[in-house]
Chains A and B, each alone.
Chain A
Amino acid sequence: MIFDSVYDTYRGVVTYVRLIDGSLHPREKLTMMSTGSTHELLEIGVSSPEPKPTKGLGVGEVGYLITGVKDVRLSKVGDTVTLNSAPATQALEGYKEPKPMVYSGLFPIDGSDYPVLRDALDKLKLNDASLAYEPETSTALGFGFRCGFLGLLHLEVLRDRLEREYDLDLISTAPSVIYDVTMEDGSEMEVTNPSEYPTGKIKEVREPMVRATILTPSDYIGAVMELCQTRRGSLQGMDYLSSDRVEIRYRLPLAEIVFDFFDQLKSKTKGYATLDYSDDGEDAADLVKVDILLHGDQVDAFSAIVHRDNSYSYGVLMAGKLRKLIPRQQFEVPIQAAIGSRIIARETIRAIRKDVLSKCYGGDISRKRKLLEKQKEGKKRMKVVGNVEVPQEAFIAALSSDDPEPKKESKK
């Protein structure tokens, strides 16, 4: 059974296995039972701890296989390897597929990096079976992948690995959880992406819940409880572990902790608090989808599923951020937050009135022409949403939790 595999630049896919039954020897033909593909075994060996070729592996032994295969998808963790000449009749049960809890869209900042991102995800998937991804297209961000993760840490680790090991610049959209939506007509669906949220009559939406255990010095009990309360948590219990240390248990919607909860917890407790959480079923909640409209056009990357009570503040926050981030256009641009067709917040980017450099002496002409060329180059990198030109940076900044820097007013 395959329990891990890695990609070696020189040798192709190296597959780690534990032999459940029988024996394997070099030069034998192997079949991957899930895909049915057949390969010749070039090298077999054990890790001690450096790879050491052997004459074969027997029952119960752990070792590696090299077949010269380059395509990582043919060597799936949990799959069964068997002899082509005397195949096993039944595949081993393998591993239970881990179920992603958190979804986020990953988009390359430079659209031409899309194939690199795809290859990188393929390779990471090799030794991280819990990673799930499928192609996604966003009108605002272009081509990317919707990725499922086990949790927030997983998301962050994977994102960092993609950026460091594969030298990619990525935008990740706000993390989303899995919602179970039951429609009036009784049909059910799973929503992992705000853009899939159904528009018809919805009977009930259920969201995943977690049981969170927070350890904190007793000085910060108030701050922690306030934070959990605003995140729709319900207190399950509290125990003093010592005179100055407290364990607080809360039941919280997963959606509330996937976005900057941990950062908030740390900053409110001077970094002392720790957070542990585990899956705790799902609950029905009054959830709505908030859309952001730029000059009347919906921008899919900014849509979010939030609790009705928080929808207003989300709308105001997002509209305010975008007003600071999007440069002024030739015309007035309204930014609206809407639930369905109802507008809940509005900001306005005033039309630009001045776009001219006042002085232009003889010595300025080369400089001015180069500035003009630079401005035109900058225009090309803008995404046009409806009629509105939005700089790439605005998407990144709007999706990050920090307060955006005020945009530069000057055109220089």
Chain B
Amino acid sequence: MPAQPTGETPPLDGSLPASAGAGAASRGLSLYVHVPYCRVRCGYCDFNTYTAEDLGPGASRDDYRSNLARELDLSTRVLADAGAADRAVTTIFFGGGTPTMLAAEVLAGVMDDIRDRFRLAPDVEVTTEANPDTLDPSYIATLAAAGFTRISLGMQSAVPHVLATLDRTHDPEKIPDVAKWIKEAGLELSLDLIYGTPGESIDDWRRSLQVALSNDVDHISAYSLIVEPGTKMGAMVRRGELPMPDEDDLADKYEIADAAMEAAGLHWYEVSNWSTSAETRCDHNMAYWRNADWWGFGPGAHSHIGGVRFWNAKHPRAWSDRLLAGESPAIGREVLEASTQEIERIMLAARIDSELPLDSLGTGSDRAIRGFVQQGLLDGDAVDEGRFEPTLQGRLMADYMVRILTDYVS
């Protein structure tokens, strides 16, 4: 995980400025639970995760649930004080790390802890990330019984040599079985894919897509490999042992992915996400991208409540020490100004299909929009209807468009 951003130091009790509570009732509330454990650290991964069983007194895996409960208590207190508590939780997401490194009963227990403190919406979406290695039918059944509705499976690739480069240890042959168990338990299935791994050929990528789409999959996230500094893979690229992914190759693979998904009945809704319908989108990620309110629990987790972003201490030990001392684990925060919030809104919404109303952009931006249509980046018919609908080329150039559009933010 990259270093946490720099920001101001929040108060020890974690209390929020009054501005955070304004209009809270009209915004959804989402919860994110960070589980910072993995069996093996993957070479490309820059998330906040640890492979040791015991990370010091009070920070071992066995203490995780009780520490989390402390942060849940803190969050209900802080939200109530800010006047931002009275609303149902619409989505919950367990990410990591590998949440399924914990026993299914522990994850179910965390769900109980959440229900004890929050009111869940009747149609709440509850997702966990999972490594195919860690799942079996009884594990999945326990999750389903605990209220989980969705599993996001870290498939990454169907090709053994690509998985080996990524340090992924699971057997790609196992994916269809695991996918079947998930569907049989009545859960939504999402698969995570990575393209652009050094050594991955175009045919390798086609093969991964084909295997992924041959399952009864509701949703696919396909991310281009980003070589992050500070990872094992970053060091190997720096030393020249692995080639840097080529941007044109990534663009080719993106276009191949989009064509394969469309052929299989999945439609894009965010630059890197495809789903079978609006219902099977990942509501939790949509909450992030719509700048809804969410609280991130666990080491290094980020939260956003009413224009205030704050983030927890990264190391599980630092996180648990603060909670045990009765303090907020948040070590930094940022109170966003209106113009900054507007920049974030454009930055996030431009990545989503028809999420950015053209009449919400600053004066003078219509010229830029016309330019994008001419360049083939935006759908001209959609623009006539006032919608921002990037074309296939436009999705690949989203950051370019965002840089120009944010110039019109006053």
Q: How far is the CA of A372 from the CA of B347 in the complex (A)?
A: 9
Which residues of B19-78 are within 8 A (CB) of A?
A: 32
Q: How far is the CB of A159 from chain B (nearest CB, A)?
A: 33
Given contacts A365-B304, A366-B5, A375-B403, are A359 and B347 in contact (CB under 8 A)? no
Given contacts A353-B248, A354-B397, A367-B5, are A362 and B402 in contact (CB under 8 A)? no
Residues of A within 8 A of B406 (CB): 372, 376
Given contacts A363-B296, A369-B340, A375-B403, are A356 and B396 in contact (CB under 8 A)? yes
- Binary CB contact string for chain B from 165 to 190 against chain A (1 if under 8 A, 0 otherwise): 00000000000000000000000000
Residues of B within 8 A of A412 (CB): 226
CB pair B251–A359 under 8 Å, yes or no, is: no
Q: How far is the CA of A159 from the CA of B134 in the complex (A)?
A: 65
CB pair B294–A355 under 8 Å, yes or no, is: no
A379 interface contact, C-beta 8 A: yes
Residues of B within 8 A of A376 (CB): 403, 406-407
A361 interface contact, C-beta 8 A: yes
A165 interface contact, C-beta 8 A: no
Tell me which of A353, A356, A362, A409 contacts B294 (CB under 8 A).
A362
CB pair B223–A358 under 8 Å, yes or no, is: yes
CB pair B247–A370 under 8 Å, yes or no, is: no
Q: Nearest CB to that of B346 among chain A residues?
A: A372
B271 interface contact, C-beta 8 A: yes
A153 interface contact, C-beta 8 A: no
Q: How far is the CA of A354 from the CA of B403 in the complex (A)?
A: 14
Given contacts A363-B302, A366-B5, are A358 and B403 in contact (CB under 8 A)? no
Most chain B CB atoms below 10 A, which of A360, A372, A411? A360
CB pair A357–B399 under 8 Å, yes or no, is: yes
Given contacts A353-B248, A363-B302, A372-B343, are A411 and B399 in contact (CB under 8 A)? yes
Which residues of A360-409 are within 8 A (CB) of B?
A: 360-363, 365-370, 372, 375-376, 379, 409
Interface size on A, residues (CB 8 A): 28
B138 interface contact, C-beta 8 A: no
Q: How far is the CB of B407 from chain A (nearest CB, A)?
A: 8
Residues of A within 8 A of B246 (CB): 409
Residues of B within 8 A of A353 (CB): 247-248, 251, 393, 396-397
CB pair A359–B223 under 8 Å, yes or no, is: yes
Q: How far is the CA of A363 from the CA of B226 in the complex (A)?
A: 16
A410 interface contact, C-beta 8 A: yes
A310 interface contact, C-beta 8 A: no
Q: How far is the CB of A178 from chain B (nearest CB, A)?
A: 46
Q: Nearest CB to that of B304 among chain A residues?
A: A362
CB pair B396–A409 under 8 Å, yes or no, is: no
Residues of B within 8 A of A350 (CB): 248
Q: How far is the CB of A4 from chain B (nearest CB, A)?
A: 53
Q: How far is the CA of A176 from the CA of B111 in the complex (A)?
A: 76
CB pair B347–A363 under 8 Å, yes or no, is: no
CB pair B400–A355 under 8 Å, yes or no, is: yes
Which residues of B300-351 are within 8 A (CB) of A?
A: 300-302, 304, 309, 311, 334, 340, 343-344, 347-348, 351
For chain B, the bracket of interface size reads 35 or more
CB pair A409–B247 under 8 Å, yes or no, is: yes
Residues of A within 8 A of B271 (CB): 356, 358, 360
Q: Nearest CB to that of B300 among chain A residues?
A: A363
Tell me which of B7, B222, B247, B289 contacts A360 (CB under 8 A).
B289
Residues of A within 8 A of B244 (CB): 409-410
A330 interface contact, C-beta 8 A: yes
Tell me which of A356, A360, A361, A410 contacts B397 (CB under 8 A).
A356
- Binary CB contact string for chain B from 263 to 297 against chain A (1 if under 8 A, 0 otherwise): 00000000110000000000001001100001010
Residues of B within 8 A of A358 (CB): 222-224, 226, 271-272
Q: How far is the CA of A362 from the CA of B297 in the complex (A)?
A: 12
Residues of B within 8 A of A357 (CB): 226, 399
CB pair A355–B396 under 8 Å, yes or no, is: yes
B254 interface contact, C-beta 8 A: yes
Residues of A within 8 A of B351 (CB): 356, 360
CB pair A355–B340 under 8 Å, yes or no, is: no
Q: Nearest CB to that of B285 among chain A residues?
A: A361
Given contacts A353-B396, A357-B399, are A365 and B344 in contact (CB under 8 A)? yes
Q: How far is the CA of A355 from the CA of B254 in the complex (A)?
A: 12
Q: How far is the CA of A311 from the CA of B17 in the complex (A)?
A: 68
Given contacts A330-B400, A355-B400, A409-B244, are A366 and B302 in contact (CB under 8 A)? yes
B250 interface contact, C-beta 8 A: yes
Q: How far is the CB of A356 from chain B (nearest CB, A)?
A: 4
CB pair B311–A363 under 8 Å, yes or no, is: yes
CB pair B304–A355 under 8 Å, yes or no, is: no
Most chain B CB atoms below 10 A, which of A359, A363, A370, A409? A363
Given contacts A354-B251, A366-B309, are A361 and B399 in contact (CB under 8 A)? no
Q: Nearest CB to that of A359 among chain B residues?
A: B223
Most chain A CB atoms below 10 A, which of B224, B254, B296, B399? B399
Q: How far is the CA of A391 from the CA of B301 in the complex (A)?
A: 37
Q: How far is the CA of A358 from the CA of B2 in the complex (A)?
A: 16
Q: How far is the CB of A181 from chain B (nearest CB, A)?
A: 45
B398 interface contact, C-beta 8 A: yes
Residues of A within 8 A of B311 (CB): 363
Q: How far is the CB of A240 from chain B (nearest CB, A)?
A: 47
Residues of A within 8 A of B302 (CB): 362-363, 365-366
CB pair B254–A372 under 8 Å, yes or no, is: no
Tell me which of B223, B254, B403 contacts A379 (CB under 8 A).
B403
Q: How far is the CB of A378 from chain B (nearest CB, A)?
A: 10
Q: Nearest CB to that of B350 among chain A residues?
A: A356
CB pair A355–B399 under 8 Å, yes or no, is: yes
Q: How far is the CA of A360 from the CA of B288 in the complex (A)?
A: 9
B410 interface contact, C-beta 8 A: no
Residues of B within 8 A of A330 (CB): 375, 397, 400
Residues of B within 8 A of A355 (CB): 396-400
B395 interface contact, C-beta 8 A: yes
12 residue pairs from A and B, CB less than 8 Å apart: A353-B396, A353-B397, A356-B396, A360-B271, A362-B288, A363-B300, A365-B288, A365-B348, A366-B7, A372-B399, A410-B244, A411-B399
Residues of chain B whose beta carbon lies under 8 Å from any beta carbon of chain A: 1-2, 5, 7, 32, 95, 222-224, 226, 244, 246-248, 250-251, 254, 271-272, 285, 288-289, 294, 296, 300-302, 304, 309, 311, 334, 340, 343-344, 347-348, 351, 375, 393, 395-400, 402-403, 406-407
Given A352-B247, A354-B250; 7 other pairs, CB 8 A cutoff: A355-B400, A357-B226, A359-B272, A363-B300, A367-B2, A372-B403, A375-B399
Closest 8 CB pairs between A and B?
A: A363-B302, A353-B251, A355-B400, A354-B251, A356-B398, A362-B288, A358-B224, A366-B5
